[in-house]
Amino acid sequence: MKKIFTALTFIILFTSFIYSSGTVYMLADFENTSFPPAGWTLANTTTYNFIRTTYASGYGSGLSCAVADFYDYQSGNFDLITRTFPVTTSGDSLIFDHAYTTGAAENDRLDIYYSTDNGSSWQLLVTYQGGPSGPLKTAPATYDLFVPNASQWATKRNALPVGTNKVKFTGVTAYGNNLYLDNIRVGVPYSNDAGLSSIIAPKWSITPQGVAPQVSVRNYGSSTQSFNVTMTINPGGYTNTQSVSNLAAGQVQTVNFTSFNFATVGNYTMTCYTSLGSDQNVSNDTISNTLVVTTSPRNVVLEFCTGTWCQWCPCGDDEARHLAQVYPNSVILAYHGGSDPWQTFNGNGIIGMLGFAGYPSGLVDRRLGANNGWGSMFTDAEYRLSQSPAATLRIDVVSSNYNTGTRELTVSANATALQSLTGQYKVNYVLKENNLVYPQTGNSYCPGNPTAIHDDVVRNIVNGASGTNVNTGTWNQNQVYPLTFNVTLAAGLVPGNCRFDIFVYKDNGSLNVSEVQQGISSSFLVTGINQQGTNIPDKFELRQNYPNPFNPVTNVHFSIPKNTNASFKVYNGIGQLMGVYYDGAINAGQYNAEIDASNFASGIYYYTLSTSEFTQTKKMVVVK
């Protein structure tokens, strides 16, 4: 199994060398998160490139591959160009895995070129037609976003002319469906060749905390191997070596190292290398990356338009839901329009201002202007996180108070620049609602549901679609601007289902190219928790409440071993939310939640502690 390489920069898994026989060997599997691979280049005649995605991997053998987004772009070329490699000799072939289908009859295609002069000139090697019956097609046609399963891949092999030292893959879109490429290789592996596949953790950027690094190693050769793997981290002087025993040819293994405390904000260089005495290829032995440790890892902001009347919108909703599941800190804003029951909200001109011409459409951090196809919402978010893992500013909620009598929410927050920022920055305050049940139209590709649950429904852009100014003049590093707003919940909104979002963007004139810098999302029915002492626990733990049964107050202790995002919520016996005691970023530590059941009826209740790595629910009893 292939693993994700979780870092901002790296030395790509791309082996390129000359055997004593003169044969060239090259392999690129796109497992490392930085894209394109080192030495590779991208080009296009649209505004979009090949990107890396974790939606699929060749024959289901891993977690990532490269994809050309034909699904969202009506015309244009996507170029993926290898680095220069030693010249091929007689008998060398280009081999790659691919997956593709069309929508109906759209004839997308893949052109492959070769160069013998480092890319100064190109000659066509082969063309693979897509469409309903072309050799590129590997799966039944669909108008849904094509995501291949393990059986929907094929392998192509093409002899390379002698002297080839570079290859270009050109995807030509006809507005059909996506093309996936993986495991691009030339030549035959050595007998003895062990190396790094990826750095799995930590990934892209983290807050200051202790982490046990993980990597994946691979036996690239044809013989079973045992070898050592060493990780170094600087600054910090960390070195740790682990052993791998009897790794079979072609297999991948995860290696776990001892924990290192990334205590200080800044960049850390993580270098990992394998040591195999008989290794015939040292070019894949080392991976080095830069990990960003920051007080504000990026939370991508996805804005998309949707509607209960729209037959394609269930697919867009699925993309947003997938993003929320994989990256739970994402800020997701669903703007309902058309004949939708939630089309009327303060600031609903946002749909036109973002250039959403069709439903569903979406933008991640307002980076691609009018190029906002829903099929790339998740992959574009991943690309954004890999290329810019740390935000330029931090948003901290100071207080949020909700008056149950007046239904008024008052929020106070701070925005802090993490570097010197020039230009005009603006803030938006958004009230949204979850768990809205309403029939959803669909079709055979994007099934509807008569009792669909709609989340992240924008009910009020409190300060209007354009937002309000944050800074005056240069926003200096560490300079803090206060952010405050209040809003009264309209009749019909359920407070327990509502959240408020805050995001800051840089004004660039047109809203759909005014890049979002950072966003946060928070529940506002927060009762509160208290940190207990200064000791850092070594594991997640949720304890039984005491006393139990109780009336009216009980206490729950829980442990968080590292900085993360967490929620602590209380539900009644039929699953209705009774209170949110915490929901957001939390530091490592021991905590206590005091639950006041004065307004609860006698009966059984449940409390749940949830993070991305740990979820546990326990039962408590109120007796009056």
Q: Give me the pLDDT at residue 11, please.
A: 32
Region of poorest pLDDT, from 37-41, 237-241, 413-417, 614-618: 37-41
Residue 457 sits in a domain whose CATH number is 2.60.40.10
Residue 90 pLDDT level (bands cut at 50, 70, 90): confident
Token output for 517: 């810098």
Q: Which domain holds residue 277?
A: 194-293
Residue 9 pLDDT level (bands cut at 50, 70, 90): very low
Q: Which of 523, 555, 570 is the last residue before a domain boundary? A: 523
Residue 519 is assigned to a structural domain of this protein = yes
Find the mean pLDDT for residues 607-616.
93
With a cut of 50, say whether residue 387 has pLDDT above it. Answer: yes
Residue 568 pLDDT level (bands cut at 50, 70, 90): very high
Same domain, 399 and 474: yes
Residue 8 is assigned to a structural domain of this protein = no
Find the mean pLDDT for residues 173-196.
91
Q: Give me the pLDDT at residue 289, please.
A: 86
Give percent of the chain above pLDDT 70: 95
Q: Give me the pLDDT at residue 326, please.
A: 87
With a cut of 50, say whether residue 24 has pLDDT above it. Answer: no
Residue 2 is assigned to a structural domain of this protein = no
Token output for 108: 């997308």
With a cut of 50, say whether residue 350 has pLDDT above it. Answer: yes
Same domain, 349 and 441: yes
Same domain, 90 and 113: yes
Residue 32 pLDDT level (bands cut at 50, 70, 90): confident
Q: Give me the pLDDT at residue 497, please.
A: 87
Residue 563 is assigned to a structural domain of this protein = yes
Angle between helices 377-387 and 313-326 (to 10 degrees): 30
Instruction: State how far the alpha carbon of 247 is from the alpha carbons of 84, 194, 196, 284, in Å.
Output: 30, 9, 13, 16
SS3 assignment, position 102: coil
Instruction: State how far the alpha carbon of 239 is from the alpha carbons of 61, 258, 288, 324, 596, in Å.
Output: 31, 9, 14, 35, 49
Q: Give me the pLDDT at residue 528, please.
A: 66
Residue 576 sits in a domain whose CATH number is 2.60.40.2550
Find the mean pLDDT for residues 463-469.
98
Q: Which of 256, 273, 293 is the last residue before a domain boundary? A: 293
Give percent of the chain above pLDDT 90: 66
With a cut of 70, say whether residue 8 has pLDDT above it. Answer: no
Residue 15 pLDDT level (bands cut at 50, 70, 90): very low
Same domain, 540 and 593: yes
Q: Spell out the alpha helix ranges (H) of 366-438.
A: 377-387
With a cut of 80, say whether residue 369 has pLDDT above it. Answer: no
Q: Which of 488, 523, 558 is the last residue before a domain boundary? A: 523
Same domain, 420 and 482: yes
Same domain, 37 and 118: yes
DSSP state of 322: H
Residue 505 pLDDT level (bands cut at 50, 70, 90): very high
With a cut of 70, say whether residue 142 has pLDDT above it. Answer: yes
Same domain, 366 and 259: no
Find the mean pLDDT for residues 265-276.
95
Residue 441 is assigned to a structural domain of this protein = yes
With a cut of 50, say whether residue 490 has pLDDT above it. Answer: yes
The 10s digit of each residue's pLDDT in 225-239 is 999 999 999 999 999
Token output for 43: 């080009």
Residue 526 pLDDT level (bands cut at 50, 70, 90): low
Q: Give me the pLDDT at residue 588, please.
A: 84
Same domain, 246 and 380: no
Residue 18 is assigned to a structural domain of this protein = no
Find the mean pLDDT for residues 578-598.
84
Q: How far apart are CA 84 and CA 392, in angstroms?
A: 35
Find the mean pLDDT for residues 148-170.
96
Token output for 41: 């280049």
Same domain, 152 and 238: no
Number of structural domains in the chain: 4
The 10s digit of each residue's pLDDT in 299-318 is 999 999 999 999 999 999 99
Same domain, 286 and 429: no
Q: C-alpha angle with apex 407: 402 to 412, nearest 5 degrees? A: 35
